[in-house]
Amino acid sequence: MSFFNFSLKNHLLRHLQVMLFSLGQLWRQPISSLMTIIVIGIALALPAGLYILLHNVDKVSGQWDDATQISLFIEKNTSSDRAYALNKELQKWPEIKETIYQSSSQSLEEFRQSSGLGALLDSLPSNPLPAVIIIHPAENNLREDAIGSLLARLESLPEVGLAQLDMEWLQRLRSLNKTAQRGITILGLLLSLSVLLIIGNTIRLAILNRESEIRVIKLVGGTDAFIRRPFLYTGFWYGLLGGMTAWMTILISMGLLNGPINELSKLYGSQFTLNWLAGSLFLTLPTIGLCLGILGAGLAVSRHLKAIEPQ
Amino acid sequence: MINFSEVYKRYPNNYEALSGLSFHLQEGEMAFLTGHSGAGKSTLLKLIALIERASHGQVIVNNQNLTRLPKRKIPYYRRQIGIVFQDHNLLQDRTVFDNVALPLIIAGEKHREIGRRVRAALDKVGLLGKERNLPIALSGGEQQRVGIARAVVNRPPILLADEPTGNLDPELSREIMQLFEQFKQVGTTVFIATHDMDLIQTLPYRQITLDSGRLAERGL
Ligand SMILES: Nc1ncnc2c1ncn2[C@@H]1O[C@H](COP(=O)(O)OP(=O)(O)OP(=O)(O)O)[C@@H](O)[C@H]1O
Ligand SMILES: [Mg+2]
């Protein structure tokens, strides 16, 4: 047991040494290391930034989820009993989550309050406003085609004068958002691939630079794992530091965007503030970075180390 | 300790560098490998160090059959062999200490043990004062001695050298040979390829002579 502890400690200590050694190597060539790290940072920041924007659009449109509603204006000649019965009937439809019945006098009252035209309304001989049934579609029925067919069915009811879908633009925004999401996923994958290639190429150059050293190490009995290790850690550092750079890039960009966006949302009387996922990105970006780093380094090492044998 | 039987080595360009070579070296023996340039001396040492593999025949070193040794075991096999080169193969950006420590670091030796053994090896080759120097700041003879210190630092049972005195003047060459004799005296098997006939004629060790990849007749 104590032997195990000892050798484990020794092992970890050795890894730590190699890890710091690799960091030191980056530090010895600050300019070229920095450039590589910044390139990685930008490549990671770009899809992450777009993802943030999309996430915020999603959040905004989520606030208006209940706003997707259909207003049914009941024909004037329909009795209020009939209209009321229709309301009850509609509540049983599976496509419909809930309905709100608003009699013509309620409509009038609402209009009076919201318009401030009370005196004018009082002067009218009869109530010109129809009864209205406001329909909230069921959640799984919010897709554009489903909403469309629901709308058509409602419109064909004899009691209904007009069926009006509110917030059609919201539907459009949603489907636009979906397309954009897919685009960003593809962009993210492509840029991850480029990070992989950047790190792979950097490691390849590092391997070629130390070719003679690798030969000597192999000659005096260094295992492949021993030779691989510093390069994997170099990839680890590039990825980690690149991920942190990406995070900082986003931090700065969002700092610059925050003022104008707050102003904009104030103008629209909205509570909206830009949520840029600082916490989760702080973990995600460096983690993705270091995974890509180790993977890229691993690929480069497995491709190029075998060719270097003592002569 | 080192046993060749009917060994052939054909390089990828079809050149046959060794043809039907058989010889045996006892444990603790010291021997010289001689022959004209291109006779196959370096090739023979490379077979022992598993830098090259025999095309035919059997090489057995320290009870291990090299023809059957899998690739992943090569590093561990090489730790039993110290190798000294004519051009020393030192890492130019590491200090003398780090160069000599390399085999111990690779073997996962403990920190304190590394310091102790590196200093002992440097002491043996007379370079204790230069452990903080870079190889470039040393003379050719000193660099060669760093290479020897690195080869012996983990006390391998076998020591190979390929023209270790090739670049040195006679005085230094004699000193280096004396160093090798010291390792023989503590039981290491020492095998040295060399051109330096003047030097080795004065020494009482066996000569294995190659002629175009074959063992030359005794007394030739
Ligand atoms: N990698 C190789 N590919 C093809 N031929 C080779 C290779 N290495 C060596 N040879 C050939 O094998 C022969 C023996 O070479 P080797 O290096 O073993 O000779 P040597 O006895 O060490 O010579 P020297 O005294 O000049 O060092 C030479 O003719 C050489 O050209
Ligand atoms: Mg040679």
Taking an 8 Å cut-off on Cβ atoms, the answer to whether A226 and B110 are in contact is no
Q: Does B49 touch chain A (CB under 8 A)?
A: yes
What contacts B107, CB < 8 A, 6 or more positions away?
Answer: A221, B79, B154
pLDDT digits (tens, 9 = 90+) for A240-280: 999 999 999 998 988 888 888 778 777 766 666 667 777 78
**Range B186-193 average pLDDT:** 95
For residue A4, being part of any structural domain is answered with: no
What's the confidence (pLDDT) of residue A3?
Answer: 47
State the ipTM, two decimals.
0.91
The residue whose CA has the least distance to atom 31 of ligand 1 is: B38
The shortest C-alpha distance from B75 to chain A (Å) reads 4
Lowest mean pLDDT among A171-185, B109-123, B180-194: A171-185
What's the confidence (pLDDT) of residue B8?
Answer: 94
Task: Please report the residues numbered 131 through 150 in chain B whose beta carbons come closer than 8 angstroms to any beta carbon of chain A.
Answer: 150
Which of A58-62, A112-116, B47-51, B124-128 is the most confident on average?
B47-51
pLDDT band at A7 (very low <50, low <70, confident <90, very high): low
* Opening angle at CA B212, ends B206 and B217, nearest 5: 45
Structural domain span for residue A76: 67-166
Are residues A220 and A249 both part of a single domain? Answer: yes
Q: Which two tokens stand for residue A235?
A: 């990839």
B89 backbone φψ class: left, alpha, beta (φ>0; ψ -120 to 50):
left
Are residues A53 and A193 both part of a single domain? Answer: yes
- Decide if pLDDT at B211 tops 80: yes
Task: Give the dihedral sign, CA A136/A141/A142/A147.
Answer: negative
What's the confidence (pLDDT) of residue B60?
Answer: 95
What's the confidence (pLDDT) of residue A2?
Answer: 45
State what percent of residues in chain A have pLDDT above 70. Answer: 90
What's the confidence (pLDDT) of residue A138?
Answer: 82
What's the confidence (pLDDT) of residue A259?
Answer: 82
User: Of A73 and A118, which is predicted with more confidence?
Assistant: A73
What's the confidence (pLDDT) of residue B219?
Answer: 44
Cα separation, B97 vs A82, whole angstroms: 100
Taking an 8 Å cut-off on Cβ atoms, the answer to whether B150 and A223 are in contact is no
For residue A280, being part of any structural domain is answered with: yes
In terms of DSSP H, where are the helices of chain B? 41-48, 74-78, 96-106, 111-124, 140-152, 170-185, 197-201
What's the confidence (pLDDT) of residue B220?
Answer: 42
**Range B166-188 average pLDDT:** 88
For residue A286, being part of any structural domain is answered with: yes
Q: Does B69 touch chain A (CB under 8 A)?
A: no
Are residues A206 and A234 both part of a single domain? Answer: yes
Atom index in ligand 1 nearest the CA of residue B40 equals: 18
Are residues A87 and A143 both part of a single domain? Answer: yes
What's the confidence (pLDDT) of residue A1?
Answer: 39
Are residues A29 and A150 both part of a single domain? Answer: no
Are residues A78 and A123 both part of a single domain? Answer: yes
What contacts A281, CB < 8 A, 6 or more positions away?
Answer: A48, A52, A247, A250
For residue A1, being part of any structural domain is answered with: no
For residue A15, being part of any structural domain is answered with: yes
What's the confidence (pLDDT) of residue A65?
Answer: 58
Q: Does B103 touch chain A (CB under 8 A)?
A: yes
What's the confidence (pLDDT) of residue A61?
Answer: 67
Are A238 and A293 in contact by the 8 Å Cβ rule? The answer is yes
User: Of B216 and B39, which is predicted with more confidence?
Assistant: B39
Lowest mean pLDDT among A105-114, A226-235, A268-277, B150-159: A268-277
Lowest mean pLDDT among A59-63, A146-150, B97-101, B145-149: A59-63
- Helix pair angle (A224-267, A211-219), 10° resolution: 140
Domains of chain B, by residue range, sit at 92-155
Among A166, A186, A203, which residue terminates a domain? Answer: A166
The residue whose CA has the least distance to atom 17 of ligand 1 is: B42
For residue A270, being part of any structural domain is answered with: yes
Q: Does B12 touch chain A (CB under 8 A)?
A: no
Taking an 8 Å cut-off on Cβ atoms, the answer to whether A220 and B78 are in contact is yes
Record the pTM. Answer: 0.75
For residue A79, being part of any structural domain is answered with: yes
The shortest C-alpha distance from A20 to chain B (Å) reads 16
Task: Give the dihedral sign, CA A144/A149/A154/A156.
Answer: positive
Q: How many separate domains does chain A show?
A: 2
Are residues A91 and A240 both part of a single domain? Answer: no
Report the half-sphere exposure of A122 (CA within 13 A, side-chain side): 5
What's the confidence (pLDDT) of residue A269?
Answer: 63
Q: How far is CA A28 from the centre of its chain?
A: 37
Task: Give the pocket of ligand 1 (CB within 6 Å).
Answer: B 11, 13, 15, 17, 35, 37-43
Taking an 8 Å cut-off on Cβ atoms, the answer to whether B49 and A219 are in contact is yes
Q: Which two tokens stand for residue B152?
A: 């012996």
What contacts A23, CB < 8 A, 6 or more positions away?
Answer: A233, A237
Among A166, A185, A211, which residue terminates a domain? Answer: A166
Are residues A31 and A58 both part of a single domain? Answer: yes
Q: Which two tokens stand for residue A196?
A: 């992989």
Q: Which ligand is nearest to the CA of A311?
A: 1
| Gap between the terminal Cα atoms of chain B | 25
Are residues A144 and A210 both part of a single domain? Answer: no
Q: What CATH number does residue A115 fall under?
A: 3.30.70.3040
Taking an 8 Å cut-off on Cβ atoms, the answer to whether B51 and A212 are in contact is no
For residue A39, being part of any structural domain is answered with: yes
